[in-house]
Amino acid sequence: MPNVNVIRRMQFNSAHRLHNPEKSDEWNAATFGKCNSPNWHGHNYVLEIGVVGEPSAETGYVIDLGELKKIANDRVIDKCDHKNLNLEVDFMRGVIPSTENFAIAIWNELADALPSGTLSLIRLYETENNWVEYRGE
């Protein structure tokens, strides 16, 4: 049977600061540069969520995109949009909010929550030119 990847794109805005509290202020400034700025900075994130599976014989869907949108809103977007990733987002607590770590955390929020299909991809754009992909491996 054919496996099809279905992709949902979503957008949100968050503030963060890259900072490792186990290291010195000098190390953090040298390592993270402007991203270590103490009073935060923001990004317009673009999130693409991939779900793979066989289209249902009844609906033709791998996953109902309305359901995927609702799950992603409840578990990720509403928690992060216009929020501070370091201070306010439960699933980012204790995590340095790099794009890499953020993508892994988003995966973990969604992987077990899908009603059909299998999570196949988290693609997270921090800027137009910088993005990461995570496939749960």
Query: Cβ neighbours of residue 28 under 8 Å, at least 6 residues apart?
Result: 18, 19, 20, 36
Given 16, 19, 43, 126, the catalytic residue? 126
Q: Does 65 bind Ni ion (CB under 5 A)?
A: no
* Catalytic residue check, 22: no
Given 35, 48, 88, 100, the catalytic residue? 35
Q: Which is nearer to Ni ion, 35 or 95 (CB)?
A: 35
50 closest CA partner among 79, 21, 18, 8: 8
Q: Which is nearer to Ni ion, 5 or 13 (CB)?
A: 13
Query: Cβ neighbours of residue 109 under 8 Å, at least 6 residues apart?
Result: 75, 76, 91
**Residue of 4, 7, 10, 35 interacting with Ni ion (CB under 5 A):** 35
* Catalytic residue check, 126: yes
Q: Which is nearer to Ni ion, 3 or 20 (CB)?
A: 20
- Which residues are part of the catalytic machinery? 35, 82, 126
Q: Residue numbers of the site for Ni ion (CB under 5 A)?
A: 35
